[in-house]
Chains A and B, each alone.
Chain A
Amino acid sequence: GSAARREGSFSREFSSLLSRGCLSTSRIDMDALEDYVWPRATSELILLPVTGLECVGDRLLAGEGPDVLVYSLDFGGHLQMIKRVQNLLGHYLIHGFRVRPEPNGDLDLEAMVAVFGSKGLRVVKISWGQGHFRELWRSGLWNMSDWIWDARWLEGNIALALGHNSVVLYDPVVGCILQEVPCTDRCTLSSACLIGDAWKELTIVAGAVSNQLLVWYPATALTDNKPVAPDRRISGHVGIIFSMSYLESKGLLATASEDRSVRIWKVGDLRVPGGRVQNIGHCFGHSARVWQVKLLENYLISAGEDCVCLVWSHEGEILQAFRGHQGRGIRAIAAHERQAWVITGGDDSGIRLWHLVGRGYRGLGVSALCFKSRGRPGTLKAVTLAGSWRLLAVTDTGALYLYDVEVKCWEQLLEDKHFQSYCLLEAAPGPEGFGLCAMANGEGCVKVVPINTPTAAVDETLFPGKVHSLSWALRGYEELLLLASGPGGVVACLEISAAPSGKAIFVKERCRYLLPPSKQRWHTCSAFLPPGDFLVCGDRRGSVLLFPSRPGLLKDPGVGGKAGAGAGAPGVGSGSSGGGNAFTGLGPVSTLPSLHGKQGVTSVTCHGGYVYTTGRDGAYYQLFVRDGQLQPVLRQKSCRGMNWLAGLRIVPDGSMVILGFHANEFVVWNPRSHEKLHIVNCGGGHRSWAFSDTEAAMAFAYLKDGDVMLYRALGGCTRPHVILREGLHGREITCVKRVGTITLGPEYGVPSFMQPDDLEPGSEGPDLTDIVITCSEDTTVCVLALPTTTGSAHALTAVCNHISSVRAVAVWGIGTPGGPQDPQPGLTAHVVSAGGRAEMHCFSIMVTPGPQHPKPSRLPRHAPFVPRLDEYWDRQPTDGSLAFWDLTTVLDHDSTVLEPPVDPGLPYRLGTPSLTLQAHSCGINSLHTLPTREGHHLVASGSEDGSLHVFVLAVEMLELEESVGEAGLVPQLRVLEEYSVPCAHAAHVTGLKILSPSIMVSASIDQRLTFWRLGHGEPTFMNSTVFHVPDVADMDCWPVSPEFGHRCALGGQGLEVYNWYD
Chain B
Amino acid sequence: MGRTSKDKRDVYYRLAKENGWRARSAFKLLQLDKEFQLFQGVTRAVDLCAAPGSWSQVLSQKIGGQGSGHVVAVDLQAMAPLPGVVQIQGDITQLSTAKEIIQHFKGCPADLVVCDGAPDGKYRLSCPQALNIATHVLKPGGCFVAKIFRGRDVTLLYSQLQVFFSSVLCAKPRSSRNSSIEAFAVCQGYDPPEGFIPDLSKPLLDHSYDPDFNQLDGPTRIIVPFVTCGDLSSYDSDRSYPLDLEGGSEYKYTPPTQPPISPPYQEACTLKKKGQLAKEIRPQDCPISRVDTFPRPLAAPQCHTLLAPEVWKCDSQPALTPSPCAFF
Contacts and interface: CB of A to CB of B under 8 A. Distances in A.
B325 A176 contact: yes
Contacts of B294: 716-717, 719
B22 to A, nearest CB: 21
A723 B205 contact: no
Nearest to A331: B122
A187 B304 contact: no
Interface stretch (A283-291, A453-461, A816-824): A283-291
The 8 A-B pairs at the shortest CB distance, nearest first, are namely A140-B322, A239-B264, A21-B162, A987-B150, A8-B328, A260-B268, A923-B178, A363-B291
A11 B207 contact: yes
Given A145-B206, A360-B286, A79 B312 contact: no
A967 interface: no
A15 B210 CA distance: 9
A1000 B106 CA distance: 58
Contacts of A291: 122
Interface stretch (B61-69, B252-260, B270-278): B270-278
Given A85-B312, A1008-B217, A1025-B217, A147 B123 contact: yes
B247 interface: no
Contacts of A45: 308, 311
A643 interface: no
B217 A1005 contact: no
Nearest to B169: A24
Interface in A253-289: 257-261, 283-289
Contact of B298 (A136, A316, A353): A353
Contacts of B327: 140
Contact of A319 (B163, B281, B301, B312): B281
Given A238-B264, A316-B278, A363-B289, A722 B206 contact: no
B322 A136 contact: no
A792 B310 contact: yes
Interface in A81-127: 81-86, 91, 95, 118
12 contacts: A22-B222, A82-B309, A84-B312, A242-B121, A259-B268, A283-B278, A286-B268, A363-B292, A679-B282, A795-B307, A1006-B152, A1023-B217
Contacts of B283: 360-361, 364-366, 711, 713
Contacts of A284: 267-268, 271, 276-278
A1021 interface: yes
A29 to B, nearest CB: 8
A1048 to B, nearest CB: 16
B35 interface: no
A857 to B, nearest CB: 8
Contacts, number: 387
A259 B208 contact: no
Interface string B203-230: 1011110101110111111111111100
B238 interface: yes
Contacts of B3: none
Contacts of B286: 360-361, 365
Given A366-B284, A878-B178, A922-B178, A18 B213 contact: yes
B249 to A, nearest CB: 26
Give the secondary structure class of B's interface.
loop
A546 B88 CA distance: 73
Nearest to B93: A188
A945 interface: yes
A698 to B, nearest CB: 12
Given A77-B298, A174-B323, A175-B326, A725 B312 contact: no
Interface string A218-239: 0000000000000000000011
A759 to B, nearest CB: 10
B226 A946 contact: yes
Given A33-B219, A723-B305, A260 B319 contact: no
B312 A1006 contact: no
A31 to B, nearest CB: 11
Given A78-B298, A81-B309, 19 more contacts: A8-B208, A8-B328, A25-B223, A27-B219, A33-B218, A83-B312, A175-B323, A188-B129, A257-B264, A286-B268, A291-B122, A365-B284, A680-B284, A722-B298, A785-B304, A879-B236, A921-B226, A925-B178, A988-B178
Given A139-B322, A141-B326, A286-B268, A15 B93 contact: no
A367 B318 CA distance: 62
A79 B292 CA distance: 23
B303 interface: yes
Contacts of A760: 313
B288 A365 contact: yes
A209 interface: yes
A26 interface: yes
Nearest to B293: A716
Interface of B: 76, 91, 93-94, 121-124, 129, 150-152, 154-155, 158-159, 162-163, 166-168, 172, 174, 178, 181, 183, 193, 200-203, 205-208, 210, 212-214, 216-228, 232, 236, 238-239, 262, 264-268, 271-272, 276-301, 303-314, 318-320, 322-323, 325-328
Interface stretch (A192-200, A503-511, A848-856): A848-856
Interface in A713-740: 713-714, 716-717, 719-720, 722-726, 728
A793 interface: yes
B152 to A, nearest CB: 4
B230 to A, nearest CB: 10
A21 B168 contact: yes
Interface string A164-176: 1000000001111
Contacts of A364: 283, 288
A771 to B, nearest CB: 12
A37 to B, nearest CB: 11
Contacts of B123: 95, 118, 147
B167 to A, nearest CB: 8
B154 A1006 contact: yes
Given A28-B219, A286-B268, A80 B151 contact: no
A1031 B179 CA distance: 10
A979 interface: no
Nearest to B308: A793
Contacts of A83: 309-312
Contact of A146 (B206, B279, B320): B206
Contact of B312 (A135, A366, A856): A135
B17 to A, nearest CB: 23
A30 B220 contact: yes
